Amino acid sequence: MQTVAQALAQARATGVDRLDAQLILAHVLTQGRSWVIAHDDAPLDAPQSDAVRAAFTRRAAGEPLAYLLGEKEFHGLLLQVDANVLVPRPDTEVLVDWALELLANAEAARVVDLGTGSGAIALAVKHGCPAATVLATDTSRAALGVARANAQRLALDVAFAPGSWWAALAGQRFDLVLSNPPYIAGGDPHLAALQHEPALALTPGGDGLDALREIVGGAAPHMAPGAWLLLEHGYDQAGAVQALLREHGFESVSTRHDLAGQPRCTGAHR
Ligand code: GLN
């Protein structure tokens, strides 16, 4: 029989960060992290020991903690996630905050989130602005399944449509278009550390700008008068995205920074 303290020692020996180990234990034991910290002597039964050991091994191999726990907090919402979707990042909350600022002055806005993955952006926007009509798309049916389940669990009325970028949206116009598309360049060494997440959500290959080009290039027929387009992009892509937006007739182009101080989101209106 293993105790919590012994499991934590095992985590350390496996190379798992202490906080991650506590969260894995809390998840398997269906307790909070503070309970784990206060109950060093609590016993684990055999299935719990096995589950904890398997999770430590996967974490040590680089699997995101969010996949092991099956959930990730984003903009105050607890989202369920699995390996079909990118793990929502705090950086993307900058995009949501910007969207909610714009929506504060709009009435009954139509919003779309292109490439929604877990549904993070669309659901956070609907949660922050219930009056908005929110649609979310993704080319991955598996991802849409995750997003739909999150919408249902959180009781947020978001509609979903399968399709790549604008393909799902023929004839539809929006007041606000949001996207965190794949933007990592094909040869970027950072991809190695992200190998557990769907490549489709991380990189379009090439210089990393293909999806951003497709979104900006195809936007015009889908933008209502005065509509805004807000895009997340790589730390070194703000200049390229700004140029792309101006090239396609957008105005008031500006960029916002993420929590690490990197230029992360660029937006403009028509
Ligand atoms: N921000 C993610 C990362 O660099 C990438 C997300 C994306 O490509 N949209 O880890």
User: In this predicted model, what pLDDT tens digit does every residue of 244-253 receive, in sequence order?
Assistant: 999 999 999 9
Fold annotation for 73-269: Rossmann fold (3.40.50)
User: In this predicted model, what pLDDT tens digit does every residue of 121-131 receive, in sequence order?
Assistant: 999 999 999 99
Q: What is the mean pLDDT of the chain?
A: 97
pLDDT (0 to 100) of residue 173: 98
161/150 Cα distance (integer angstroms): 15
Whether 182 is in the pocket of ligand 1, judged by its Cβ within 6 Å, is yes
| Nearest protein Cα to ligand 1, atom 2 | 202
| Nearest protein Cα to ligand 1, atom 1 | 89
Where are the chain's structural domains?
Answer: 4-61, 73-269
Question: pLDDT band at 36, cuts 50/70/90?
Answer: very high
In order of 13, 43, 217, 260, the CA distances from 242 in angstroms are: 48, 57, 13, 20
Cβ neighbours around 23 below 10 Å, total: 19
The pairing of strands 43-44 and 71-74 is unpaired
pLDDT (0 to 100) of residue 107: 82
Whether 202 is in the pocket of ligand 1, judged by its Cβ within 6 Å, is yes
User: In this predicted model, what pLDDT tens digit does every residue of 157-198 receive, in sequence order?
Assistant: 999 999 999 998 999 999 999 999 999 999 999 999 999 999
Residue of 180, 200, 241 to mutate, ligand 1, most atoms within 8 A of C-beta: 180
In order of 27, 41, 54, 58, 240, the CA distances from 4 in angstroms are: 13, 6, 15, 19, 51
Whether 219 is in the pocket of ligand 1, judged by its Cβ within 6 Å, is no
Question: pLDDT band at 42, cuts 50/70/90?
Answer: very high
pLDDT (0 to 100) of residue 106: 84
Question: Do 179 and 122 touch, CB atoms closer than 8 A?
Answer: no
129/30 Cα distance (integer angstroms): 32
| Nearest protein Cα to ligand 1, atom 6 | 202
Question: pLDDT band at 1, cuts 50/70/90?
Answer: confident
**What does the pLDDT average to over 10-39?**
97
Cα(182) to centroid(ligand 1), Å? 7
User: In this predicted model, what pLDDT tens digit does every residue of 208-228 receive, in sequence order?
Assistant: 999 999 999 999 999 999 999
In order of 46, 121, 128, 139, 180, the CA distances from 165 in angstroms are: 47, 15, 24, 8, 11
Tokens standing for residue 86:
């990118």
Q: What's the whole-model pTM score?
A: 0.95
pLDDT (0 to 100) of residue 87: 98
Hey, is 135 helix, strand or coil?
strand
| Nearest protein Cα to ligand 1, atom 5 | 202
Question: pLDDT band at 265, cuts 50/70/90?
Answer: very high
Alpha-carbon 45 to chain mean position: 35
Helix (H) or strand (E) holding 191: none
- Alpha helices (H) along the chain: 4-14, 18-28, 33-38, 46-60, 65-69, 93-104, 120-128, 141-153, 199-202, 210-217, 238-247
In order of 22, 33, 61, 109, the CA distances from 41 in angstroms are: 14, 15, 28, 54
* Residue % of the chain over a pLDDT of 70: 100
Hey, is 79 helix, strand or coil?
strand
User: In this predicted model, what pLDDT tens digit does every residue of 80-119 receive, in sequence order?
Assistant: 999 999 999 999 999 999 999 999 988 889 999 999 999 9
